[in-house]
Amino acid sequence: MLKAFRAWRRERILGRSTLDNSLWRALTRRYSFMRVLGETERARLHDLVVLFLHQKSLVGAGGLEVREEMRVGIAAQACMLILNLDLDWYRGWTEVIVYPDEFLAEYDYVDEDGVAHHVREPMSGESWLTGPVILSWADTEQADSGGGYNVVIHEFAHKLDMLNGDANGFPPLHGEMSRTDWSRTFGTAYDDFCRRVDARQETRIDPYAAESPAEFFAVLSEAFFEIPHAVRGEYPDVYGQLAAFYRQDPAVRTAP
């Protein structure tokens, strides 16, 4: 009964969609990782975007007016992660806040010596546990520039990671996946990546991934969608785990 009601509600929202078709087509051409989607996947992405925009509110901050193409662009990138999952993976929060550029995050922490610090630092994106996703529009616009940098995918990967508590690089896995394999694969790759970054080796993957296991998962998720062949080449086992988790294989959509 509940299932039937949810399906009816979903169809009603989709039926009332006012998503502009030419805007939608322009946006899916704007991002290379959307251009390569097949017809079925593209139609599914479209429906997820309509449902996402119905459920979430995208609000401007710092004087930014969030235009329709910004709303749809952010929603479409966010929905790439859940293309073969479900909107339910973004449950428990409703707001996406967009600043024109980097914004100042302020927080307090106590270091190992017991000294309290107050930090103000510029951020390109931030995700709060059961709270909003915060994005810098200037950084969002740098998506798909070839380096694997995508702040929307990054922050929404944190959101998936936080479905089972604080971000730690361990999102809730599907029943057919092994927690042991995930830990071993990501642990080994993370140690190797940190060693390479410490040795100042060139990597296709953003060195920021060495920051913590949570950042490693988020940065590898950006690269998984934007430069899948680089991830598959450098860390094939991590690629395999991400493909099983996202239920997508972006490398087969594009030539290396």
Separation CA 187–CA 182 (nearest Å) = 8
Separation CA 77–CA 150 (nearest Å) = 9
CB 98 within 8 A of CB 137: yes
Nearer to Zn ion, 45 or 135 (CB): 135
Strands 125-127 and 116-123 come out as unpaired
Cβ atoms within 10 A of the Cβ of 202, count?
6
Nearer to Zn ion, 125 or 228 (CB): 125
Nearer to Zn ion, 189 or 218 (CB): 218
| Residue 218 Cβ vs Zn ion, minimum distance, rounded to whole Å | 5
Place of tokens 């996402």: 52
Separation CA 103–CA 80 (nearest Å) = 25
The H or E element containing residue 121 is strand 116-123
| Residue 179 Cβ vs Zn ion, minimum distance, rounded to whole Å | 22
| Residue 101 Cβ vs Zn ion, minimum distance, rounded to whole Å | 18
Separation CA 250–CA 157 (nearest Å) = 16
Query: What is the token pair recorded at 71?
Result: 């709303």
The Cβ-side half-sphere exposure at 47, using a 13 Å CA radius, reads 17
Residue nearest to Zn ion (CB): 218
Nearer to Zn ion, 65 or 106 (CB): 106
| Residue 154 Cβ vs Zn ion, minimum distance, rounded to whole Å | 6
| Residue 211 Cβ vs Zn ion, minimum distance, rounded to whole Å | 8
Nearer to Zn ion, 51 or 218 (CB): 218
CB 160 within 8 A of CB 138: no
Nearer to Zn ion, 206 or 215 (CB): 215
Separation CA 167–CA 157 (nearest Å) = 9
Residues binding Zn ion (CB under 5 A): 215, 218
Nearer to Zn ion, 36 or 197 (CB): 197
| Residue 215 Cβ vs Zn ion, minimum distance, rounded to whole Å | 5
| Residue 112 Cβ vs Zn ion, minimum distance, rounded to whole Å | 22
